[in-house]
């Protein structure tokens, strides 16, 4: 088949046309590879476009340098990737490769000119396709058919693909969430291969696992996929508590999924206490902000709740935000409301802005209070009065309460 969509045509910028002419002039083949092909066939314009070629890295370097095209970031060169910059755009072009040796994390590769051999070493059929710059689809493993049928399958033998890089287990789940229409339509032999090789995830770096896991957790079918991680005995290898609260997680996913929860909002439901958060952080090396959110949710999910007497009142939450005086506490409380399934309060809090306390220590000094300790005590008393007034009192009204 030949692709002629507007998304495909929109890729042909001055930069890509310049690169394409250069490869053609030197008689090297250049095709779009992997995820960008999958996105284009799904009717999306890809965010990143990777290219594959029959030219070796040395041949590409010579060709680009002779044409006066700047090369940047030579980190990928040993894996066969050259990055060229033309018309303010970066183009990542990788030589076709075959795996010579793999250890479950990295592969030793050698270069080839055989497109099918390169496709064979890729993880999933839907990621193994190439697209010529004339729109011709090169599909060696029925990837397009799988994409149309919303199927996620490994290229060739699932066990072999997994053993080449155990992270592919999590990539399978992430793409399942992106492609499959229904939650539980996995091929039994795929799940068997995953279960039998799950231990291999223990050797994968936490950073790589976290990149995949957090994408999976905010995709479709996330609750089903997280439950599957437990059913297949994988949780213990990827920083999640072995006895995670799957029932709570499914409930939170139902509450939050329509409101773009952060990955940690969903995962926090699995944690029984702060120890689980510390162990996860040790394994996955999440950001400080992500860890703080997990600890916040675990600490406050049962105690910081709407009032039984006035269930529509935002006050328990706004009081907490104002008292905490932390810049991101409003965003954390919004995640808490997603966790709790409080849609109405969530939309109100998203529109609410933190009122500014109108009195400063400077105002009290002008009134003759000089001791730092007294100023601190007075400010706290005035904050309490201001809170009781629902943040309505202005500076003069508050200062009239100061006892001199």
Contact 269, 252 (CB under 8 A): yes
- Contact call for residues 41 and 47 (beta carbons, < 8 A): no
* Residue 73 confidence (pLDDT): 75
Burial of 312 by CB count in 10 Å (0-12 exposed, 13-18 middle, 19+ buried)? Answer: exposed
pLDDT of residue 103 exceeding 90, the answer is: no
Tens-digit pLDDT profile for residues 213-249: 999 999 999 999 999 999 999 999 999 999 999 999 9
Report how far Cα 115 is from the mean position of its chain's Cα atoms. 31
- 3-state SS class at 288: helix
**Tokens linked to 240:** 């999640």
Superfamily of domain 157-238 in the CATH hierarchy: cca-adding enzyme, domain 2 (1.10.3090.10)
Please give the structure tokens belonging to residue 395: 């500076």
Domain locations in the chain?
1-151, 157-238, 242-354, 358-403
Residue 3 pLDDT > 80: yes
3-class SS shares of the chain: helix, strand, coil, % to 5:
55, 10, 35
Q: What is the DSSP letter of 393?
A: -
Topology of domain 1-151 in CATH is Beta Polymerase; domain 2 (3.30.460)
Secondary structure class of 89 (helix, strand, coil): strand
The helix (run of H) or strand (run of E) holding residue 51 is: strand 50-53
Helix axes 14-25, 57-66, angle to 10 degrees: 110
**Given this chain, do its domains 1-151 and 242-354 carry the same CATH topology?**
no
89-95 and 50-53 beta bridge pairing: parallel
Which residues are within 8 A (CB) of 336 and not within 5 positions of it... i.e. 6 or more apart?
Answer: 296, 297, 300, 301, 304, 317
Mean pLDDT in residue range 176-202:
96
Structure tokens at 361: 């220590």
Interatomic CA distance for residues 185 and 370, integer angstroms:
72
pLDDT reading at 39 higher than 90: yes
Q: Whole-prediction pTM value?
A: 0.87
Q: Which structure tokens are listed for 162?
A: 């997994």
Q: What is the pLDDT of residues 269-299, one digit of tens each?
A: 999 999 999 999 999 999 999 999 999 999 9
Q: Which CATH class is domain 242-354?
A: mainly alpha
Q: What angle do CA 91, 97, 98 make, to 5 degrees?
A: 160
Most confident stretch, 25-34, 107-116, 395-404: 25-34
Residue 109 pLDDT: 83
Q: Are 301 and 336 in contact (CB under 8 A)?
A: yes
pLDDT value at residue 104: 65
- 235: which 2 tokens? 């949780």
Give me the sign of the Cα torsion angle 396, 398, 401, 404.
negative
């Amino acid at each position: 088949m030949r692709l002629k969509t507007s998304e495909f045509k929109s890729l042909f910028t001055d930069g890509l046309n310049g690169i394409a002419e250069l490869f053609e002039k030197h008689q090297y083949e250049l095709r779009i590879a992997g995820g960008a092909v999958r996105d284009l066939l799904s009717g999306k314009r890809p965010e990143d476009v990777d290219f594959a070629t029959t030219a070796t890295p040395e041949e590409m370097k010579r060709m680009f340098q002779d044409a006066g095209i700047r090369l940047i970031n030579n980190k990928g060169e040993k894996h066969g990737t050259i990055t060229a910059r033309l018309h303010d755009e970066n183009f990542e072009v990788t030589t076709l490769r075959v795996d010579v040796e793999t250890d479950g994390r990295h592969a030793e590769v050698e270069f080839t000119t055989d497109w099918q051999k390169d496709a064979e070493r890729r993880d999933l059929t839907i990621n193994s396709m190439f697209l010529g710059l004339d729109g011709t689809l090169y599909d060696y493993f029925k990837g397009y058919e799988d994409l149309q049928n919303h199927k996620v399958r490994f290229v060739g033998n699932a066990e072999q693909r997994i053993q080449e890089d155990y992270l592919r287990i999590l990539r399978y789940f992430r793409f399942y969430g992106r492609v499959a229409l229904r939650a539980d339509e996995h091929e039994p032999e795929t799940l068997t291969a995953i279960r039998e090789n799950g231990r291999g995830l223990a050797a994968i770096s936490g950073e790589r696992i976290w990149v995949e896991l957090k994408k999976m957790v905010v995709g479709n079918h996330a609750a089903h996929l997280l439950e599957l991680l437990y059913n297949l005995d994988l949780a213990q290898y990827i920083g999640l508590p072995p006895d995670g609260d799957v029932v709570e997680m499914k409930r939170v996913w139902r509450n939050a999924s329509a409101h773009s929860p952060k990955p940690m909002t969903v995962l926090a439901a699995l944690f029984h206490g702060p120890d689980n958060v510390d162990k996860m952080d040790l394994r996955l090396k999440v950001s400080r902000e992500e860890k703080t959110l997990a600890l916040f949710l675990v600490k406050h999910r049962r105690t910081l709740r709407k009032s039984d007497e006035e269930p529509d009142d935002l006050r328990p939450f706004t009081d907490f935000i104002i008292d905490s005086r932390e810049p991101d506490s409003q965003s954390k409380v919004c995640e808490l409301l997603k966790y709790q399934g409080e849609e109405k309060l969530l939309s109100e809090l998203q529109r609410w802005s933190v009122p500014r306390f109108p009195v400063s220590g400077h105002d009290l000094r002008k009134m003759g209070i000089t001791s730092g300790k007294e100023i601190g005590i007075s400010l706290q008393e005035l904050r309490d009065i201001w809170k009781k007034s629902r943040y309505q009192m202005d500076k003069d009204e508050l200062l009239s309460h100061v006892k001199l």
